[in-house]
Amino acid sequence: MKKSSLSSEQLEFQQYARRWLAESKPPPPPVRLPQNPIEVMSEEQRDYLQDWQHKCYEAGLVGADLPEAYGGGGHEGFQRLANQEMNAAGTPFLINVIGLNMAVPTILVHGSEEQKRRFVPPALSGEEIWCQGFSEPGAGSDMANQQTTAVRKGESWVVNGHKVWTSLGHFAKWMILIARTSRDHKYDGLTYFLCPIEGATGVTVRPLIKLTGESGFNEVLFEDVEVPDSMRLDEVGKGWTVAMTTLTYERGAAESAGGGGGNAIHPVQQLIQLSRESTRDGVRAADDPLTRDAIVQQAIWAEAIVQNARRSRVPALCEQPMRIPLQMKVTVTEFTQSNSRLGVDIAGARSTLYKLDESAPDAGHWPLSYMNSYGMTIAAGTNEVQRNILGERVLGLAKSK
Amino acid sequence: MSTATPPKDFGFGLDEEMLRDLARKFLDEKLPVERLRTLVAGDHQAVYEQGQRPAWDEGLWKEMVELGWPGLAVPEQAGGVGFKTVGIAALVEEAGRHALPSPLLASLCASFVLREADAAAANPWLARIALGGATSLAITNAQGSWEPDDSGVSAREDGDALRLSGAAHFVQDALKAGAFVVSARRGGDLLLCVVPAEAEGLRVEQDHIHDLTRDQATLHFNDVAVPALHVVSRDAADVLRRAWPALLVTVAADLCGSSEWQLQTTVEYARNRVQFDHPLGFFQAVKHPLVDAMLAIDRARSLLYHAACCIDQGGDDAESAARMAKSAASDAGAFTSSRSVQLHGGIGFTWECDVHLYFKRSLHNQALYGDGIHQRRKLADALIGELER
């Protein structure tokens, strides 16, 4: 009676992706993988993950909906299916997360034909890894306060400045960079560049150590770095607008070029599992009423995220089209933080153990995941800034600043 | 789990959208908040100290009957519309948004139960509802238990008929209803029967409640005769269990609607009221809680339509989905209510400010058919496994 809403091509692709992933699932990694792509630290991890993304690309699971001229598959409605299947198969994540979710969509919107042909294919295949140069020591939540400068010199720009929180910077070939090209206007004085990183003269990439003691992100120093004018994205002075495109994709309010993978077990199922293996006041944590209530709150939240995404595509049930999309960053990151926090609580005394301690539950996942979750609630515009945006753009309240 | 692919749009199509938009227009026109205030909150002493019968607009109900609303949950073969639950949820959201005093919700809930009962016996009562015969559920005992098996009424055989004794509590909009769907214990069985309000031996005692937008009563049964024809099921617990997701969805929808009104009204106030040279909404201590209320409401609304869609799909995931929706809607209602009073400041604490009307309706709905903690306890049994007792 009920018909599937997928076309026959989409159904066929779904079957194909499922089969391919089952057959091509890679052997276990030679080293323990981090919890997400922006924490990739070692070259072994990188090589393993880069190889996996390349295979997925060759199989048509990355860039499936992008035009063939730019290395894509030229299909419609395939990418979401590919992402779902990668998630369900629990295969490793795709390493080039900034390339796929930020650089590629931004280049497709704002780039020249030449830029699209040059940069999109190797980003999809994972051959060229991208990083993001938006944040600076003095430009965090106030992102337009950019102090990195780009000064015109013939057919080039000379870049000087200091970027921070640069995930994947130590493996990146390219950076999406915003720099100040005029001091006269705060917003209109910004320009967006595709900037060479690996091997570029004047670029220094230094690892930053996170509160967990892990590295994985960096600071990047620019000293008279020459960037050809052909690497400028869109017009001079339009950097803020272009950056907003990037942020729309980064904050999950728009569909990206590819993703998924890495999360075979649902985070709430992980909690339930942990609660069955943990003891609290002499009983299984799974039998403690308060713990049960807290776990179910997480389950409800997780379901709400799925159903919010579903409702956001039903115009008749959304009085304002951006009301739900603009919530996604806050909701997903705070769900994740709260989920990890609850895992720490359920693990109890055992949550004190670092990942190298053999008795640490789930190989030390919970406390590390909890601490790392602050990266998510702070990055891409802190959740406080997100709440300002929601209050002002959706509810129409007065601008706080 | 249902094997059919769930519709991406929750099954919310043009018919549902048209009904919702019509309901909004109709209620905007007929029951603006000024009218509601005059209707139900004219005199605080009359309502609270003297326990006056809560006011409602019977003429408005007659118009709603003409629009066909009471028959929406009545199957077509019983003379109703057999509308999708997603559409009914949208209508009830509008009722909540206008804090509508009427027997609509009670009658929808009674229909949801009766349509799970034995068709031959239940259909005449369903047809009566479709024609505007307000009906309410009398299935709750003195302790306010939300377990379908619990009843404060007992039945004994008397020839072909039954005789009911005891009491049913927390009966919604009982003073507006012409008939009650009653669960009654007889030995090991739980029977479901329909009792007209004028039945001999039935006394409807008005409860003294906070919510000004509805009434509630205790039904006292003093050997009330029920002919065999009026028994609509010999397994009331099973009928109630099957209807339960729709009851939860109905109350959750009302909560979503009232919460959205509270949010928009408080936002409006925060845009206009100036303190320290700025509109209140300029201050993040005001702005951020309003955003948090919006986040809570949207979670609840999305879960609401998911649950309503599960009911329409007929899968066995409807109960969990509905409990999630009711938990989220109760909690969103509690938070939004709290902020709507607090952020209005001094005026929000007074009788003249309308927020109290919605605050109390929401408070009542948060408890009805089980609050968030209750729903989550049930969900924990399903998701984690039952506790050893």
Task: Check which CATH number belongs to the domain holding B248 and give it.
Answer: 1.20.140.10
Q: With respect to residue B388, please indicate whether it lies within any of the assigned structural domains.
A: no
Whole-number pLDDT of residue A264: 43
Are residue B153 and residue B286 in the same domain, yes or no?
Answer: no
Mutation site, A274, A276, A288, A311, interface B, largest B CB count within 10 A: A311
Are residue B87 and residue B176 in the same domain, yes or no?
Answer: no
Q: With respect to residue B6, please indicate whether it lies within any of the assigned structural domains.
A: no
The domain total for chain B is 3
**Global pTM?**
0.87
Cβ neighbours of B199 (radius 10 Å): 17
CB contact under 8 A, B278 and A303: no
Q: Which residue has the tokens 């006041």?
A: A281
Q: With respect to residue B82, please indicate whether it lies within any of the assigned structural domains.
A: yes
Are residue B22 and residue B109 in the same domain, yes or no?
Answer: yes
Q: With respect to residue B261, please indicate whether it lies within any of the assigned structural domains.
A: yes
CB contact under 8 A, A327 and B295: yes
Size of interface A-B (CB pairs under 8 A): 147
In sequence order, the β-bridge partners of residue B231 are: B193
Q: With respect to residue B7, please indicate whether it lies within any of the assigned structural domains.
A: no
Q: With respect to residue B71, please indicate whether it lies within any of the assigned structural domains.
A: yes
Are residue B105 and residue B197 in the same domain, yes or no?
Answer: no
CB contact under 8 A, A272 and B384: yes
Q: With respect to residue B358, please indicate whether it lies within any of the assigned structural domains.
A: yes
Considering only the beta carbons, identify the residue of A299, A314, A395 that sits closest to B267.
Answer: A395
Alpha-carbon gap, residue A237 to A182, rounded angstroms: 8
Are residue B38 and residue B164 in the same domain, yes or no?
Answer: no
Are residue B264 and residue B364 in the same domain, yes or no?
Answer: yes
Rounded mean pLDDT, B50-56 = 89
Are residue B127 and residue B206 in the same domain, yes or no?
Answer: no
Instruction: Report pLDDT digits (tens) over B112-125.
Output: 999 999 999 999 99
Taking 70 as the threshold, does the pLDDT of residue B17 lie above it? yes
From chain A, the residues in CB contact with B19 under 8 A are: none
CB contact under 8 A, A292 and B384: yes
In sequence order, the β-bridge partners of residue B190 are: B185
Q: Measured between CA atoms, how close is A373 to chain B, in angstroms? A: 19
A250 flagged as catalytic: yes
Grouping H, G, I as helix, E, B as strand and the rest as coil, residue A237 is: coil
CB contact under 8 A, A316 and B16: yes
DSSP H or E segment with residue A283: strand A283-284
From chain B, the residues in CB contact with A394 under 8 A are: 294
Instruction: Report pLDDT digits (tens) over B334-354.
Output: 999 999 999 999 999 999 999
Alpha-carbon gap, residue A24 to B301, rounded angstroms: 40
Q: Which residue has the tokens 């349509």?
A: B115
Q: Measured between CA atoms, how close is A343 to chain B, in angstroms? A: 15
Domain boundary among B200, B217, B234: B234
From chain A, the residues in CB contact with B328 under 8 A are: 300, 304
Spell B243-265 as b/e; 16+ CB within 10 A means b.
Answer: bbbbbbbbbbbbbbbbbbbbbbb
For chain A, domains (ranges, CATH) are 8-125 (1.10.540.10), 130-250 (2.40.110.10), 267-394 (1.20.140.10)
Domain span including residue B253 = 237-383
Task: Check which CATH number belongs to the domain holding B181 and give it.
Answer: 2.40.110.10
Task: Check which CATH number belongs to the domain holding B101 and give it.
Answer: 1.10.540.10
Are residue B122 and residue B180 in the same domain, yes or no?
Answer: no
ipTM above 0.85, yes or no: yes
Q: With respect to residue B9, please indicate whether it lies within any of the assigned structural domains.
A: no
Instruction: Report pLDDT digits (tens) over B350-389.
Output: 999 999 999 999 999 999 999 999 999 999 999 999 986 5
Strands A174-180 and A130-133: parallel
CB contact under 8 A, A391 and B328: no
CB contact under 8 A, B284 and A388: yes
Mutation site, B3, B22, B295, B304, interface A, largest A CB count within 10 A: B295
Whole-number pLDDT of residue A381: 86
Are residue B310 and residue B347 in the same domain, yes or no?
Answer: yes
Alpha-carbon gap, residue B291 to B267, rounded angstroms: 10
Are residue B259 and residue B339 in the same domain, yes or no?
Answer: yes
CB contact under 8 A, B282 and A398: yes
Considering only the beta carbons, identify the residue of A1, A307, A388 that sits closest to B302.
Answer: A307
Are residue B294 and residue B345 in the same domain, yes or no?
Answer: yes
Alpha-carbon gap, residue B92 to A260, rounded angstroms: 38
Domain boundary among B72, B107, B133: B133
The one catalytic residue among A85, A250, A277, A334: A250
From chain A, the residues in CB contact with B259 under 8 A are: none
One-letter amino acid for residue B102 of the chain? S
Grouping H, G, I as helix, E, B as strand and the rest as coil, residue B166 is: strand
CB-based contact B329:B255 (threshold 8 Å): yes
From chain B, the residues in CB contact with A297 under 8 A are: 376
Task: Supply the Cα-derived Rg of chain A in whole angstroms.
Answer: 22
Structure tokens at B189: 């069985």
Nearest to B224, CA basis, from B199, B190, B205: B199
Are residue B178 and residue B243 in the same domain, yes or no?
Answer: no
Query: CA-nearest residue of chain A to B287?
Result: A391
Taking chain A (401 residues) in consecutive chunks of 10 residues, what is each chunk's mean pLDDT? 69 95 85 72 88 95 95 92 86 90 95 97 96 90 90 96 92 96 93 96 93 86 97 96 89 57 68 96 95 98 94 94 93 95 97 94 93 89 95 96 72
Query: CA-nearest residue of chain B to A297?
Result: B376
Grouping H, G, I as helix, E, B as strand and the rest as coil, residue A41 is: coil
Whole-number pLDDT of residue A143: 84
One-letter amino acid for residue B82 of the chain? G
Domain boundary among B104, B133, B162: B133
C-alpha count within 13 angstroms, C-beta hemisphere, residue A283: 11
Nearest to B303, CA basis, from B266, B264, B331, B339: B331
